[in-house]
Amino acid sequence: MSRKPGIMVLALILVATALNASILIFNLTLPSRADVAGMDYRALVHVPDFKRAVQTIVEKCKANVELGKVQC
């Protein structure tokens, strides 16, 4: 029996892993665009209720609204 299908699957998994790692390392993702009640992200970061709501939703985590990061 030939091992080529197994090698091809392994190669595909390795390529997908490398692609995923490079996207995470080089931060190639696009930022989200918030628009709530006519306010964009820059306006929302200064609303205390918004920050409290984010922290309530993300339980047991710290939400840095200014940087748009969540740390658990």
Q: What is the pLDDT of residues 13-72, one digit of tens each?
A: 999 999 998 888 887 777 767 677 788 878 888 889 888 887 787 777 777 777 777 777
User: In 10 A of CB 46, how many CB atoms?
Assistant: 11
Q: Is the pLDDT of residue 1 over 90?
A: no
Read off the pTM: 0.41
Q: Where are the domains of the chain?
A: 1-30, 32-72
Q: Is the pLDDT of residue 10 over 60?
A: yes
Residue 46 DSSP SS3: coil
Cβ–Cβ under 8 Å, residues 18 and 11: no
Residue with tokens 């918004």: 50
